[in-house]
Amino acid sequence: MARHWRIHVHDADRIAALRQAADVPSLVAQLLIARGINDGDVARSFLDPKLTGLRDPMELPGMIDAVARESDAEAKRRRIIIYGDYDADGMTGTSILLLCLRMLGADVGYYVPNRLDEGYGLSTEALATLAAQGASMVVTVDCGIASLKEADEARRLGLELIVTDHHGMADRLPDAAAIVHPRLPGHSYPFGDLCGAGVAFKLAWALCQQAAEDRKRVAPAHREFLLTAVGLAAIGTVADVVPLIDENRVLVLHGLASLAQRSPLGLSKLMKLTKLDAKPALSSEDIAFTLAPRLNAAGRLGQAQLAVELMTTDRPDRADALAEYIDELNKSRDSLERSVYLSANKQAQQQFDPHGDAALVLADHGWHVGVIGIVAGRLAEKYHRPVLIVSLDELGQKPGIGSARSVPGFNLHQALAACSHRLLSHGGHAAAAGFKVDPKSLDAFRSEFCELAAERISAEDRVAELWIDAETPFAALTLPAVRQVERLAPFGQGNVRPLLCTTGVKLVEPPRPLGADGRHLSLKLHQQGAAIRGLAFGKAEWAEGLTAATTLSIAYRPVINNFRGRETVELHVVDWQADPRQGGGNGVEGTNHLPVSA
């Protein structure tokens, strides 16, 4: 889909004022202003977030009750089961609490449902099995806040249920012994965007405080554990695509250092296998594109328990075997994802009306439920619409399993709740959600959901906007300048890597395909005598419209490439527009729009 370019206004006076107030270079001041940061103290705190910026865990809603109950269960040697979700957020949070309670001497185990057989969240069958096996307390991680009938069943079974979650709530809270949630009704915690692993980290921290003689100063061994746990929380935070601001920014910045210096044995093996151990420093992108996909692959292919074992084992031989196996699972996941994407995209092209359709609800038999969420995300970005993908079983007798991804401004959780009478179940949050639907109700659900999307997403909002921080000539993209850009890291949701644009760019030679299957492009770019390499990931289709000597405007993210100790600047190209005098666009669809200031 064509995108409108919006370039942030260059306000020289504001830039100069922030540069002086925060003692930062002009480029950094300009980028901070584009992120809504105008105050010197706020800028300094953003650029240098301290671990002391994490709020006391006891301030988190429900924490006092949860700590008291868990400490009592630990002291009485009652069997505690950590019940986690099967994604990277849930698995890292499960690992944090499992390691913590083991360290504190609790009788503890864990349970992660099989995504393929059980689906998301608590299940009455699993709770019954755990009770029969002697469990006394169940502590959820990254799930449970909307599990009303399951909470009732836990109470009937005699299980003490502690819910820790961050997802959207039902019309009432579950009947649990304690609930820890940053947005718990009746409370005013100042930061509601912690992920499941972030909440679990806070609970582990609170338990360590509870075990200390001086509650404000945990024992040295417990402090060392918490510094390791910050790394696990960082993985969950990046993987769950929550905003990298406030406490999340602190967790990820310090978590990256923790992963490099003191990661759990299994993760260190996985990092060595993926060559992350050779990098001078880890970035949030290393989590997003290397570690998180591998952990998620285990969950997507029904092996989530192995990812938790990888992060909690202390046996080197087992860690090696698990790291290699999970890396192979990721290759299988990648192959499945490509297959489903091609099929779903073909269906989308056949039924999509860019002028009339506000959402896409796609369904087919045999699409692997473990990858439909990734595919939904890719298609939501491609078409700039909410995309729901439903996997139906071959006979059409079982409920369809659905995964949904949204676009800015459209709350999936609220939309699915409004259509809940057409669904068997649903859960999730504003940007991502899952659901089950009777195949016989699918058409009615599709119609109702798309109608609702049409009401809530205006025609203007269906055109994607690309917000660009600044227009920059290639000559300004020196190593020192891009190092200044890196001061805004870690990058991710809520703090994306700065996006720049340059006009009058020449493509010196035809694009060169990269990757085993040619999905990526390498671009040799020149502008006003300066040459630089560009990479376009997953944009092989651009090659048809890009020819040598084409004059372009390009939107890109500057990065520093470190190859064998040699650092160079390269551009990760996000979008391009041909010089209007040449006609044409990005070679795919729609009409490109010239950059405009906003």
Q: What is the pLDDT of residue 580?
A: 58
Backbone φ and ψ of 61, nearest 5°: -55, 130
pLDDT at 168 over 50: yes
Q: What is the mean pLDDT of residues 359-380?
A: 94
Query: To which H or E segment does residue 312 belong?
Result: helix 304-312
Does residue 311 share a domain with residue 184? Answer: yes
* DSSP bridge pairs for 591: none
Per-residue confidence (pLDDT) for residue 264, from 0 to 100: 97
| Residue at 21 is within a domain | no
Distance CA 238, CA 247 (A): 13
Task: Assess contact for 433 and 416: CB atoms under 8 A.
Answer: yes
Domain finish residue from 404, 432, 462:
462
Query: What value does the mean pLDDT take over residues 56-80?
Result: 97
Q: Is the pLDDT at 40 greater than 90, yes or no?
A: yes
pTM of the model: 0.89
Q: 280 falls in which pLDDT band (50, 70, 90)?
A: confident
Whether residue 431 sits in one domain with residue 532: no
* Cα R_g (the chain), whole angstroms: 25
Phi, psi of 209 (to 5 degrees): -65, -40
Integer Cα distance of 435 and 433 in angstroms:
7
333 within some domain: no
Residue type, 72: D
Answer whether residue 24 is part of any domain: no
- φ and ψ at 347, to 5 degrees? -65, -40
Residue that is last in its domain, among 462, 482, 498: 462
Residue 587 pLDDT > 60: no
Q: Does residue 94 fall inside a structural domain?
A: yes
What was the pLDDT predicted at 548? 72
Predicted local confidence at residue 170, as pLDDT: 86
Tokens describing residue 475: 């000559």
Q: How far apart are CA 390 and CA 370, in angstroms?
A: 11
pLDDT of 591 higher than 60:
no
* Residue 47: inside a domain: no
pLDDT at 53 over 80: yes
**Residue 275 belongs to domain with CATH number:** 3.90.1640.30
Same domain? 186 vs 320:
yes
**What is the structure's pLDDT at 544?**
84
Instruction: Give yes or no: residues 434 and 458 share one domain.
Output: yes
Closest to 346 in 3D by CA, of 406, 389, 410:
389
Same domain, 490 and 433: no
Residue 443 in any domain: the answer is yes
Check pLDDT > 50 for residue 210: yes
Residue 486 is predicted with a pLDDT of 94
Same domain for 130 and 141, yes or no, is yes
What's the full length of the chain, in residues? 598
Give yes or no for residue 312 having a pLDDT over 60.
Answer: yes
Q: Which of 413, 429, 462 is the endpoint of a domain?
A: 462
Give me the pLDDT at residue 549, please. 66
Q: What is the pLDDT of residue 590?
A: 30
Q: Does residue 33 form part of some domain? A: no
Domain count across the chain: 3
What is the per-residue pLDDT for 396?
65
The answer on 449 and 382 residing in a single domain is yes
pLDDT tens, position by position, 422-439: 999 888 888 889 999 999
Higher pLDDT pick, 124 / 3? 124
Residues 304 and 370 in one domain: no
Q: Please tell me whether residues 312 and 171 are part of one structural domain.
A: yes
Report whether pLDDT(215) > 80. Answer: no
The model's confidence at residue 598, banded by pLDDT at 50, 70 and 90, is very low
Are 307 and 361 in a shared domain? Answer: no
> What is the pLDDT, as a whole number, of residue 123?
94
Q: Which CATH number covers residue 512?
A: 2.40.50.140
Mean confidence (pLDDT) of the chain? 92
Of the listed ranges 62-76, 101-115, 191-205, 501-515, the least confidently predicted one is 501-515
444: CATH: 3.10.310.30
Same domain, 490 and 576: yes
What is the rounded (10 degree) CA torsion for 543, 545, 548, 553? -110
Q: Is 454 inside a domain boundary?
A: yes
| 304, 326 contact by CB (below 8 A) | no
User: How many other C-beta atoms lie within 10 A of the C-beta of residue 203?
Assistant: 26
Q: Do 243 and 367 lie in a common domain? A: no
Question: 74 lies in which domain range?
Answer: 53-328
% of the chain at pLDDT higher than 70 = 96
Q: How confident is the model at residue 588 (pLDDT cuts 50, 70, 90)?
A: very low
Q: What pLDDT score was predicted for residue 581? A: 52
CA–CA distance, 8 with 346 (Å, rounded to integer):
36
- Give the pLDDT band (50/70/90) at residue 117: confident
pLDDT band at 585; cut points 50, 70, 90: very low
Over residues 301-313, the mean pLDDT reads 97
